[in-house]
Structure 1
């Protein structure tokens, strides 16, 4: 089969690799219909996730059809359309029992495209298939459902729920990329008083307004002043950090009101300064987190009911054999206007190896 293989910092290729097979009784093999590219994949390509080895197939988000299952898989069977979660869960360790699947100590967590071969391929082996795949509702379109593998659960759980967005709150979302936009969309379920989006790119600020932001601010022009003006100098009740840079995190700390919450969602590759000499007296709460994906079934139901604006985030479509072009477009988002890309296409028959 063909797959997108990481060859080392700055290097990758769409190439022939061996077909996956069942390795453990809890595995499923999924024929990939649609995948997407995550900002984390770009971090890997930059060498910022050093535990990813050269030769690894990238990707941790997919929609596809089950073609084979291990003997202990009970929740899905060949022929089922499924969403492949970005998080794999053993289901037995302490953290899985607490629904903190991202912290799984039984061999799961974020492993696809990191420590095991990922989803940017024609076929993928999915460990712990019963908890790591979700049957797709008949009404769910694959190119939009793929956003529920990572983007929407991350924004909802790590941003909106960790930030405890409540009715009447002023919510500032710093970073209007895919996760920031998904945070704006899902924050609206809790009836905040206003949502303010902050970004450097005019096209992303336009997208934020279209998806529900009440106001937008250029990150280069002291956006905290707009927050002060809108809140009579108090600051935002909730600030969601959806970029992952030292500067964006420090902007968040200047926006939050005393007693407010900062929910960090962005993936940070460098240290950020925490100005405790200014923050200690403000009674603020800072949360961080890797997504657990416990909300995925709820979000799938909302997608099927037409209550989740996933289609607003897909800006470019590619076939699987255009994977390298898709990476180029996604990596140059400031020039191309890319938010999320949906990548899908035709596949050769899988050579199964038995159980």
Structure 2
């Protein structure tokens, strides 16, 4: 099959690789019909994850058609249409029983790199699709086919006529935005400030309203992303290249600061003007640090006393110059974590089915698998108005579907890969 593989910093290629096979009776194999490129994929593309290997298949936002079913799978059969969460969870361990799926104890196996994860993080988190040796080295979903372990615990079946584009983001960014808003502890009427208007930020904006926010303030510098936040998200917007963000937030909230702050940026935050931001970039450039925590610092300082800071943005290693004294003395609550996707699949699917939200609004580019390397560069540089890319392996190469409307057709089942 064809798959998008990591070969080094700034180097992803469509390779011919072996077809996936059933390795455990709880597995299924899917034919991928749609797969997103995620902002956290850029951390791989930019060489920030130290445990990638040349040839690793990347991608963790897939959906598709079931083409092979393990002997112990009870929920699915061939031909079912499913969305696959990026988190791989067993459903049986201490954490899964508490619905803390991204903390699963069994899906990041006890290999050498899992031991490294324990050293780096204290404990190894759950395995993730397409995201380095630290997280299980599971082949990812930017490919024609994907093996899905623990199938009865992960995917959700799509039985309605909703298009792929309406449901594919249940795999990651819609639940991630929802959990970010939930973790923020939003109370009716709260002012919520959200740093980052990429795809996760856009869904955090939408979900902040679902939790009863009175105001949402969105912060970015990319005109297209700010405009999406303003029009689709009904947010007040700030451009950090034009505004002093801390001062403006304090001014906009009558001196108090936002009640809830969401860092939807993570490890590669941009900063303008501040010495800390300049030092962050310099240290990352010479491999002395994997993270640029400018937004995290800014959110801590801006958040009102006794407020809440929610961090869905991905951080990788050790962070410098975090104003922990401000965090403690202001009495802030901080909630973080990879998303417990399985917990949210059914209720969020129901929101889509009821017409409360159409997640496809965030898509700007629809591409063939063969065009993914170019799309990664567009996504990284935020050129060509690129906010969210969906890979459709069935499309012909070099077909630009930027302005095309979502296609509401049932995907066609093709033959299973050889050996599946």
Match of 1:266 among 290, 313, 316: 313
Q: Give 1:200 shift.
A: 1.5
Match of 2:185 among 135, 160, 164: 164
Q: Give 1:272 shift.
A: 4.2
Greater mean alpha carbon deviation, residues 29-38 or residues 323-332: 323-332
Structure 2 equivalent of residue 58 of structure 1: 58
Structure 2 equivalent of residue 341 of structure 1: 389
Cα RMSD after superposing both structures: 1.6
Structure 1 equivalent of residue 39 of structure 2: 39
Match of 2:220 among 192, 196, 199: 199
CA displacement 1:193-216 (0-9 Å, x = unmatched): 100001122221111111224311
Scaled by the length of structure 1, the TM-score of the pair is 0.95
Which stretches in structure 2 are left out of the alignment for 5+ residues?
Answer: 109-125, 132-136, 270-292, 396-413
1:323 pairs with 2:372: yes
Task: Output aligned runs, 1:239-278, within 5 Å.
Answer: 239-244=261-266, 245=269, 246-269=293-316, 271-278=319-326
SS in 1 for 2:386: coil
Greater mean alpha carbon deviation, residues 111-120 or residues 73-82: 111-120
SS in 2 for 1:336: coil
Which stretches in structure 1 are left out of the alignment for 5+ residues?
Answer: none
User: Residues 116 and 278 of structure 1: is their aligned pair in 2 closer, same or farther, counting only changes over 3 Å?
Assistant: closer
Q: Give 1:352 shift.
A: 4.2
Structure 1 equivalent of residue 402 of structure 2: none
In structure 1, C-alpha distance between the alignment counterparts of 2:332 and 2:394, rounded to whole Å? 50
Q: Give 1:269 shift.
A: 4.0
In structure 1, C-alpha distance between the alignment counterparts of 2:264 and 2:166, rounded to whole Å? 21
1:299 pairs with 2:348: yes
Structure 2 equivalent of residue 111 of structure 1: 128
Q: Give 1:336 shift.
A: 2.1
Structure 2 equivalent of residue 75 of structure 1: 75
Structure 1 runs of 4+ with >4 Å offset: none
When you count strand as a share of all residues, which structure comes out higher? 1
Checking the alignment, whether the CA contact within 8 Å between 2:182 and 2:211 is kept in structure 1 is no
Paired residue total: 352
